[in-house]
Structure 1
Amino acid sequence: MTAVARLALTDFRNYGDAVLETAEGFVLLSGDNGAGKTNILEAVSLLAPGRGLRGAALSEMARQGGPGGFAVAARTTNIDIGTGTLATAPERRQVRINGAPVSVNSLSERLAILWLTPAMDRLFTGSAGDRRRFLDRLVLALEPMHAHHASRYEAAMRARNKLLSDELGADPEWLGALEIQMAEHGSAISDARSRTVEALDATLSGNAGDDFPLASLALEGWDGGDFIATLRSSRGRDAAAGRTTVGPHRQDLAVIHRAKHVPAARSSTGEQKALLLGLVLAHADLVAERRETPAILLLDEVAAHLDPGRRAALFGRLEGRGQVWMTATEAALFDGIGEASRFHVQDGSIGPT
C-alpha cells in the first residue's frame, strides 16, 4: 500500500517550515478557515503531475515574504519525492525521485492521487473545460501515459495555431506534420478517455444500493473519425477563428443522475455534491483494482456537507481503503473515525489534536 509517511514543506503557502509524520489510513486536519489545512492537501497533490488541486500558478505557491521559491518533500512507502521551484525560475517546476531529477509527468507512474474540493461543487454546472480537466485527472490515475499524449497534443496544436496565424502563409508541409502529431496524440487521448468513462460507468452501475446517488457517464463533443482530413479541411476556419475548432480538446463529460434520469446540472445542490462524491469513490475503487494499490485520497471539507448518516456511510466506505487526507473546521466532524493521524492546524503551524 502506498502512503505518505512524512511530508515536509519549506516556504510553501503560509508555511515557512513544517513537517508531518503520518501513518496509513486516515490523516485528519482540523482548524479554522484560513489556517492552512487546504494548503497541506495542495502540497500532497503536487506529488502528482499538474498544478495541484487548486490549479494555481507555481509562483503563487511560494510563501509571501519568503525567498521566492518553495519545496515539498515526501517520503512514501517506497520512494522519496521532492518538488518545488527556485526563486530564479518561479514558474519552472522541478521534480526529484530518490534524489534524481525526473520529468513532472513521470510522477503519475509512481502515485495515484485523487481529490475533491469545495470548488469542484460547481463541476456539473461549470464549463466543459472544467469537466474535461476533471476527466483527464481520472484518466491519468489509470493510464499514466495520458499526460505524455496531452502535453504533446497541446504543443502541436499551439504550433499549428501559430502557423495558421502567419500573415505570410503557413508552410503546408509543416502544417501537415503538426496535424499528423495532433492526430496521433489526439486519438490516444480520446481513446483513453473513452476507456475510463466506460470502465467507471460500469463500476458505478455495480454500486446499486450505495449510500450515495449514482451517476451515469458518457463522453460527448468529438467522436474522432479521420482527424487528419478534418484538420486539413478546417484550416481556413481555424485560421479565421484563431484556434483549432475540432478535436479532443472540445470533448465534454456528460453526467446523468442514474436513478432520476436527469442531467446532474439539473439536480439539487445536495444531490450534485453527493453525485460527485459517489463518482470519486467509485473511481478510487477502480484505481485500486487496476493499479493493485489504493490511490491517496484528498477530501477537503467534505464531512461538513453531509448529514450524520451519510457522513458515517462515507467513513465506512473509506475505512481500510488506503491513505485518506481529510480537513474540517471542527475535529468533532470526524467523530466515528477510529484510529487516525490527527492534527490541529493554526496560523501556519501544525500540532497534534
Structure 2
Amino acid sequence: MVARLILQDFRSYEALDLPVEGQIVALIGENGAGKTNILEALSLFTPGRGLRRAELATMARLGGDGSFAASITLAEDGGRLGIGLGAPDAEGRRPRLARIDGAAVGSALAFSDYLRVVWLTPDLDGLFRGAAGDRRRFLDRLVLAVDPGHATRSNALERALRSRNRILEESPGQGAWLDAVEREIAELGVAVAAARAETVARLCAIIAETRDEASPFPDAAIALAGEIDTLVARLPAVDAEDAYRDLLRQGRNRDRAAGRTLAGPQASDLEVRHGPKDIPAGQGSTGEQKALLIGIVLAHARLVAAMSGLPPLVLLDEVAAHLDPRRRAALYEGLAGLGCQVWITGADAALFGDLPAGAQRFAITPGHADPIG
C-alpha cells in the first residue's frame, strides 16, 4: 500500500507531496485537471511503459528542464521506490532512473519484489470489439503482473522476429541464419505462449471459484486462440518448440511475401465470452462489456495477490462514470473486499458518495491535490 506519493516536474505537477492513508483513494476533478497523471505516475512502478504506454521523455512537465521524478513510500515497511529521467549527459541523453531506498537498480523490474500494479482505463472500453493486438497487449499486462519476467521474454521475441523478417527480406537464401533465429524464436515463442496459457488457466480458476449468480459483474469465459497456443496446449514444451520451428521453416516464402512472421504469439487472440449468456463478449451491450471487463480486472487482482503474496495496487480511471447505481455500489463493495489499495478517478463527486468508510477523497485541480472532508 502506498503511504506517500511525491512528484517533481511530472506532467501537470511541478511539485506534489501526497500523504495517503486510505485503502480506497478517490481523485475527483474536472476533465484535464490531472487525475490520470497521478495514476500514470503510479503505473510506472511496474515493468512496461505505464498505463498510457508513453515514452518517459513525454512525461516531463512542459516548462521544466526535461527531467522528472516520481517516488512512493510503502506503508508496509517504509521502503521508497523512485523512477524518472535525470539531467542530460554530455551527449544530451537523459538517463532513466530507478531506485530502491535511494540505491540505483537496473530497471522497474526490480520493483516487482515490493509492488504489483494492475489498472483499467477508458481506452479498454472497446477491447472486446477492437483489434486482436489490443487484446494481446491487455493479456500481456495481466501476465506481467504475475510474472515480471514476461516482459523480458516478450521483448526478446520481438527483436528475434524483426531479425527474421529482415533476413527474409534482404538475404532469404541464408538458411543457416534463418535456422538460428528460428530456433531462438521457437524457444521464446513457446515460453511466451506458455506464460499466457498459465495465467489464463489460473484466471479462469479464480473466476470459477468466485462466481456469484447475483453479481452485476458476470463471469467471463476466457481462452487463447492461435496456432502456437494449440501447440502449447497439446504438446510438451520441447515438442512444441520443434513443431513451431517447422511452421516457421515451412512459412518462409509466405512470410517473406507478407513482410512479417504470420505464425506465433504475435498472432494469437484472447477470446472472451459472456458466461451467463454464452455469447462473445463483443456482442454484449456496452454496459455488459464494461461489467465483464471490471469482473476480469477484479479477478486478476485476486490472482496477483494469491500468486505473488503482494496485494496489488489497483488503478481505475473513470470506471464509475459509466455504471448504473447498482453496479457502482457492487463495485465499491467488491473493491473493499479485495484487500488491495485502490486509486479511482472521476469528475463527479456524487459518484463517490457510496464509498466505504475510511476511503480518502482528494480534489484535483491543475498542479494540486487537496484532501476533501
Interval containing the TM-score (normalised by the shorter chain): over 0.9
The one-letter amino acid paired with 1:39 is N
Contact 1:32 1:329 in 2 (8 A): yes
The answer to whether structure 1 residue 262 and structure 2 residue 273 are counterparts is no
Contact 2:45 2:108 in 1 (8 A): no
Runs of 4+ in 1 over 6 A off after TM superposition: 89-92
Corresponding residue of 1:316: 333
The answer to whether structure 1 residue 250 and structure 2 residue 267 are counterparts is yes
Provide the C-alpha distance between the structure 2 equivalents of 1:39 and 1:325, rounded to a whole number of angstroms. Answer: 12
How far is 1:28 from its partner?
1.2
How far is 1:285 from its partner?
1.4
The answer to whether structure 1 residue 80 and structure 2 residue 80 are counterparts is yes
Contact 2:33 2:364 in 1 (8 A): yes
How far is 1:35 from its partner?
0.2
Deviates more, 1:190-199 or 1:82-91: 82-91
The answer to whether structure 1 residue 156 and structure 2 residue 195 are counterparts is no
Provide the C-alpha distance between the structure 2 equivalents of 1:317 and 1:155, rounded to a whole number of angstroms. Answer: 40
Contact 1:47 1:111 in 2 (8 A): yes
Structure 2: gaps spanning 5 or more residues: 232-239
Distance 1:330 1:15, change over 3 A: same
Residues 191-235 of structure 1 deviation map (CA, whole Å, 9 limit, x = unaligned)? 111111112122222313233112111101223341111112222
Contact 1:204 1:214 in 2 (8 A): yes
The one-letter amino acid paired with 1:80 is R
The one-letter amino acid paired with 1:196 is T
Deviates more, 1:195-204 or 1:259-268: 195-204
Contact 1:58 1:90 in 2 (8 A): no
Distance 1:90 1:5, change over 3 A: farther
Structure 1: gaps spanning 5 or more residues: none
The one-letter amino acid paired with 1:334 is F
The one-letter amino acid paired with 1:177 is A
Corresponding residue of 1:230: 247
5 Å-filtered alignment, 1:190-339, equals: 190-206=193-209, 207-209=211-213, 210-222=215-227, 223-224=230-231, 225=240, 226-320=243-337, 321-337=339-355, 338-339=357-358
Q: 2:144 aligns with which of 140, 143, 146?
A: 140
Provide the C-alpha distance between the structure 2 equivalents of 1:126 and 1:61, rounded to a whole number of angstroms. Answer: 27
The one-letter amino acid paired with 2:296 is L
Aligned length: 350
Contact 2:87 2:94 in 1 (8 A): no
Distance 1:310 1:128, change over 3 A: same
How far is 1:87 from its partner?
5.6
The one-letter amino acid paired with 1:308 is P
Contact 1:30 1:343 in 2 (8 A): yes
Contact 1:105 1:148 in 2 (8 A): no
The one-letter amino acid paired with 1:258 is G
Provide the C-alpha distance between the structure 1 equivalents of 2:265 and 2:141, rounded to a whole number of angstroms. Answer: 15
Contact 1:68 1:90 in 2 (8 A): no
Corresponding residue of 2:362: 343
Deviates more, 1:322-331 or 1:87-96: 87-96
CA RMSD of aligned residues (A): 1.8
How far is 1:255 from its partner?
0.5
Residues 58-117 of structure 1 deviation map (CA, whole Å, 9 limit, x = unaligned)? 222111122112221112234321112246467864322222222233333432111011
Provide the C-alpha distance between the structure 2 equivalents of 1:170 and 1:157, rounded to a whole number of angstroms. Answer: 17
Contact 1:9 1:17 in 2 (8 A): yes
Corresponding residue of 1:70: 68
TM-score by length of 1: 0.94
Distance 1:91 1:221, change over 3 A: farther
Distance 1:284 1:238, change over 3 A: same
Provide the C-alpha distance between the structure 2 equivalents of 1:44 and 1:119, rounded to a whole number of angstroms. Answer: 17
Contact 1:59 1:90 in 2 (8 A): no
Distance 1:161 1:93, change over 3 A: farther
Quote the sequence identity (%). 49
Distance 1:169 1:308, change over 3 A: closer
Contact 2:29 2:364 in 1 (8 A): yes
